[in-house]
Amino acid sequence: MRILIAEDDYVNRRFLFKFFSQYGDCDMVVNGEEAVQAFMFSLEESDPYGLICLDIMMPKLDGLKALKVITSIEKEKEISDKEISKKFVITALDNAKDVQNAFEMGCEVYVTKPINTEKLIEVMKKLNLNTE
């Protein structure tokens, strides 16, 4: 499985990379704009991401806006439900409006910081991607 990690904080990005590397090939970007570009490039290569992890608070384009763009691209290209990427957001924000917005835009799991291995294992279970 191909995995995209969009996180502007270096420590969190490295932690996510280390964790998700056991599940597939990981690419890392530092903002939502790069996340959208990487996603589009993966489609052009016919090697789309199976999992996309987006931090909400990022420079240039935040994670929710990137999520919205990515989801709209999938709809525009008529990607089937079976082939659509699984998406989740990570954030320090924990308010009902952000959670609701994330799910309305195609997010399947919402994780609040601080992140740890146990939370990420739960994410993989909720997304039915746990390989253990």
Task: Evaluate if pTM is beyond 0.75.
Answer: yes
Those residues with Cβ within 8 angstroms of residue 103's Cβ, 6 or more apart along the chain or in another chain: 110
Q: Rounded CA gap, 18 and 20, in Å?
A: 6
Question: 55 φ, ψ to 5°?
Answer: -75, 145
Short-list 14, 125, 5, CA closest to 54:
5
Q: pLDDT (tens digit, 9 = 90+) per residue, 47-93?
A: 999 999 999 999 999 999 999 999 999 999 999 888 899 999 998 87
Confidence of residue 39 (pLDDT cuts 50, 70, 90): very high
Return the CATH class of domain 2-126: alpha beta
